[in-house]
Amino acid sequence: GAGLASLSAAVFLIRDGHVPGKNIHIYEELNITGGSMDGNGDPEHGYVIRGGRMFDEEVYACTFGMMESIPSLTDPKVSILDEFNAFNKKMHTFAKARLIDNEANILDSSALGFERADRMALMDILINHEDSLGKKTIKECFPESFFKTNFWFMWTTTFAFEPWHSAVEFKRYLHRFIHELPHLSDMSGVRRTPYNQYDSMLLPMTKWLESQGVTFELGCSVTDLEFKPSDNETTVTAFKCEKNGKETRIEISERDIAFVTIGSITQGTSLGSMTTVPKINDKHVGGAWSLWEKIASGRPEFGNPLVFDEHVEDSMWESFTITLKDPTMVKKIVEYTGNEPGTGCMMTFKESGWFMTIVLNNQPHFINQPENIEILWGYCLSPYKKGDFVKKRMVDCTGEEILTELLYHLNFKEDMKKILDTSICIPCILPFTTAQFSPREKGDRPEIIPEGSTNLALLGQFCEIKDDIVFTMDYSVRGAQTDVYKLLNLNKR
């Protein structure tokens, strides 16, 4: 794969392991690098961001450590970390409209809204060991009142938790982000990249790796791995791949290392348009899940992918990107919230049937975005439910219908026709976006270096890193860094 984890592994191999770039070969099923951290489009057809990411200075140590080694595309004398820091000195987040009701009233969300039973349940989950939670869901650990608190509405829309997700993962998030509790209502602890993360991070990483001689085989799907027969060791001897309908076998010597990304939070993505509805796909569209299922068959040390890829109805969400060719909507949002683009954060319509959240980032959000174009992004955590104004399930709606629902929630009815006529809203269904939050138990996620492995390292959001939190960039980068340091026997932290 050529996602964040794989590209980070290549960076650490070159920077810290002193491996020549020409010795590194990256195979990617798509025709572009970036994996799940994408961002593309144009003003004519509309832009698409499947997901948006935020940074936390106290949590993203590995990511920042990698970013300081990658030169900026605009000024090679500075790193993308320098660029990031300069941007965040200039742009400060202080959201003034975190929660909104169905009458378009901005709510006071400064109080978390806990009752005594909610506090006790939070303390209970914080102090107890993970083993005591097992495969429990969040819903099993909290009273019903907890899911009506401001805390829940803000926490769930910041991190994308659902009540049926893993209590263990929720516990890890509480430990990791507890310092953000005082900032939940204004999101003032959030840091962002100058552009979308593909343009600000993944593209510069790709360009730098290419300049180091790294080979990229795009449009090439890895379909299976071959292993050396052994009762106590795991050694990859070859892998099979398919490109342009042709199958190839690549041999792996004992001196080679195979880094394999397992699972995918964006596999099976389907896009709609202003007039068409995206499709709900399953794990059979794309190859990430089938590869993991193949190598895990009969090998418990490779985890249990079926825990994560069999429940699309529980792991699916829907996002949408709006390309605005007229300034009316952005001007009205700025007037309504008091936040200039990039200074606010998530705006959640807490009573909406679809549980909708939108974000107005700093503009331009894409490197190739013209001055007269602006971008708005949003997502919904309840896409199977009916809307409040468009009386349909979100999954059955076109981009025009989704934008209509949003405009009603904002009470921008007077300008609705003008905005609809000058905008492109592209809906995006992601079947596995929160699959890594699925209730699980020990062994369901494999170790990043499986027991007995001599030359195989696993990457991505579905490996196990003790105490760390998935659905973050740092999880992918930390896993890659750990893999490289361990397999190259580098005495580095």
Instruction: Show which residues are catalytic.
Output: 173
* Token pair belonging to 191: 């840091």
Q: Output the six-digit token pair for 204.
A: 């510069």
Q: What is the largest CA-CA distance in the chain?
A: 71
d(CA 350, CA 134) in angstroms, rounded, equals 30
194 neighbors 87 (Cβ within 8 angstroms): yes
Residue 268 in contact with residue 315, Cβ under 8 Å?
A: no
The phi and psi torsions of 225 (rounded to 5 degrees) equal -115, 150
Neighbouring C-beta atoms of residue 191, cutoff 10 Å: 17
Residue type, 31: N
Q: Dihedrals φ, ψ of 30, to 5°? A: -80, 175
Question: What is the token pair recorded at 469?
Answer: 């939190």
Cβ neighbour number for residue 226 with a 10 Å cutoff: 15
C-alpha torsion sign, points 218, 220, 221, 224: negative
Measure the CA–CA gap between 391 and 385, rounded to whole angstroms: 9
C-alpha to C-alpha distance for 480 and 460, rounded to whole angstroms? 8
CA distance 419 to 407: 9
- Residue 440's contacts (CB-CB under 8 Å, 6 or more residues apart) are 135, 166, 168, 307, 308
